[in-house]
């Protein structure tokens, strides 16, 4: 079964490849705030802090479709999945 990011798991799932990760974030700009609307962003980060790409979407579903179409060949990660071993501590 192929895993993908959707409107139910987007807050805790991402795709990774090497030191890069692709995920969905959200925010707003002055115009969208006036209409009480959020915007969704497909964001690619390098080393968890350096933004290398970002594309804006008005719907979460649109962001999910784009993210899966462009990054599903990367490794899918569910951040709620149980972890084991040394890397389970907050220092990792």
Q: Domain boundaries in the chain?
A: 13-80
Query: Is the per-residue pLDDT at 5 higher than 80?
Result: yes
The structure's pTM equals 0.81
pLDDT given at position 86:
64
Q: Residue 45 has what pLDDT?
A: 97
Count the neighbouring beta carbons within 10 Å of the beta carbon of residue 52: 11
Burial class (CB in 10 A: 0-12, 13-18, 19+), 40: buried
The confidence score (pLDDT) of residue 84 equals 67
Residues 66 and 48: their CA atoms lie apart, in Å, by: 20
pLDDT tier at 92 (50, 70, 90 boundaries)?
Answer: very low
């Amino acid at each position: 079964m192929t895993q993908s990011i959707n409107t139910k798991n987007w807050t805790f799932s991402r795709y990774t490849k090497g030191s890069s990760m692709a995920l969905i974030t959200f925010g707003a700009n002055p115009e969208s705030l006036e209409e009480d609307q959020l915007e969704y962003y497909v964001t690619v980060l390098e080393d968890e802090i350096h933004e290398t790409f970002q594309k804006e979407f008005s719907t979460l579903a649109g962001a999910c479709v784009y993210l899966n179409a462009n990054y599903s060949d990367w490794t899918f990660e569910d951040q709620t999945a149980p972890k084991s071993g040394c890397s389970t501590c907050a220092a990792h």
